[in-house]
Amino acid sequence: MGYYILKRLLAMIPTLIGVAVLIFILLRVVPGDVVEARYLTQGSQFQSQDLMDIERKKLGLDQPLWKQFTTWMTGLARLDFGLSMWTGAPITEEIKLRFALSLQLAIMASLLAQLLAIPLGILAAVKQDTWVDYAVRVFSIAGLATPSFWLGIVMILTMLIVFKWVPPMVFTPLWVNPWENLAQLIWPALAVGYRYSAVGTRMMRSAMLEVLREDYIRTARAKGLWLKLILVRHALKNAILPVLTVMSLEFAFLLGGLVVTEQVFNLNGLGMLFVEAISRRDYTLTQALVMLVATFFLIVNFVVDIAYAWLDPRIRYR
C-alpha cells in the first residue's frame, strides 16, 4: 500500500512539470504582453517606447525564455510564487481571498449536487423504466443541458421580479457574517449544483442498476428481506464508490471552472481572476493560478485513487 502511494505521488511530478511547460509556452505564444496591455490601452497620443522598455526590463521580460522559465521554476520549488506583473503585489495575496470564495462555492455546489444526485439516482434505479425513472432522468438531464449562467440570469431575474430582492453583491467572508455570505453564495451554488448533480444522478443510477443485478442481492430478495434494508446495507455500499469518485473529480474542476457563473453573480473568484490575468497578460499570475488549479486537481485525484484502493482491495493498479 505504501509503495502504491509513493508511486502515485511520484507520477504527479512529471504531470505538473508538463502543465508548467505548457502554460509557460502558451502564454508566450499569445500576442501582446503586460506592458502593452497597460500602456497601449489608451491609444494615447503620447506613447513612449522607452517607458515600455523600462517596464519590460523591470519585470524581467527582456530575459531569454529559458532563463525566465528556470527563474520561475526555482521560485516554485521554494514555494515562492513571485509578484503579479500587473499590480506588483505578491501573488499569494492576490489569490488568497478569491481562493477562499471559490473553494467555498465549490464545496457548497458539490454538497448540493450530492444531496440531489444520490437519492434521485437510487430512486431511478429502483424504479427503472417507470415514469419515476423517466422523470428523474429528464430532471437531471435538464440540469446538464441548461447553461448555468443562463440559469443564473433567470434566477436573479425571478428574484428581482417576484421577491423584489437582489442578492448581496459585495462578498463577506463566512467568518465575518455567515448570513450575508450564505445569502450571496447559495444562488450560484444552486445553479452550479443542479448542473453537476446530473452527472452524479446518472452515475448513481447505473451503479445501483449494476449492483442490483448481482446474485447476492437476488438471493436476499428471494429470501424476502425488506428492499430498503437490502438497499442500505448491501447495494449502497458498493454502488456509492464510483459515484463518489466521479463527484470528487467534478469538485476538482469547480475550483477554476466557474468563470461564467462568477461573471453573472459578480463573484470575485478564481475564474474571473483567470480571465483578468489572461486578458492583462499577467504571466506570473496566470502561471501561478494554473499550477494551483492543476495541483489541486491532481491531489484530489490522488486522494480519490487512494481511497478507492483502500476501500476496494480488488483494485490495485499495476
In whole angstroms, how close is the CB of 158 to other proteins at the nearest point? 10
Can you give the chain as a three-state secondary structure string?
CHHHHHHHHHHHHHHHHHHHHHHHHHHHHCCCCHHHHHHCCCCCCCCCHHHHHHHHHHHCCCCCHHHHHHHHHHHHHCCCCCECCCCCCEHHHHHHHHHHHHHHHHHHHHHHHHHHHHHHHHHHHHCCCCHHHHHHHHHHHHHHHCCHHHHHHHHHHHHHHHHCCCCCCCCCCCCCCHHHHHHHHHHHHHHHHHHHHHHHHHHHHHHHHHHHCCHHHHHHHHCCCCHHHHHHHHHHHHHHHHHHHHHHHHHHHHHHHCHHHHHHCCCCCHHHHHHHHHHCCCHHHHHHHHHHHHHHHHHHHHHHHHHHHHHCCCCCCC
Residue in 1, 7, 9, 18 binding other proteins, rule: CB under 8 A: 18
Closer to other proteins at the Cβ: 6 or 21?
21
**Ranges within 38-57 binding other proteins (CB under 8 A):** 38-48, 50-51, 54-55
| Total number of residues that touch other proteins (CB under 8 A) | 88
Closer to other proteins at the Cβ: 32 or 119?
32
**Ranges within 258-297 binding other proteins (CB under 8 A):** 259-260, 263-264, 266, 268, 271-272, 274-275, 278-281, 290, 293-294, 297
**Ranges within 74-133 binding other proteins (CB under 8 A):** 86-89, 93-94, 97-98, 128-129
Residue in 61, 255, 288, 304 binding other proteins, rule: CB under 8 A: 255
Q: Assess 142 for contact with other proteins (CB under 8 A).
A: yes
Give the contact letters, 191-210, x = binds to other proteins (CB under 8 A), - = no: -----------x---x--xx
Residue in 5, 107, 132, 153 binding other proteins, rule: CB under 8 A: 153
Q: Assess 173 for contact with other proteins (CB under 8 A).
A: no
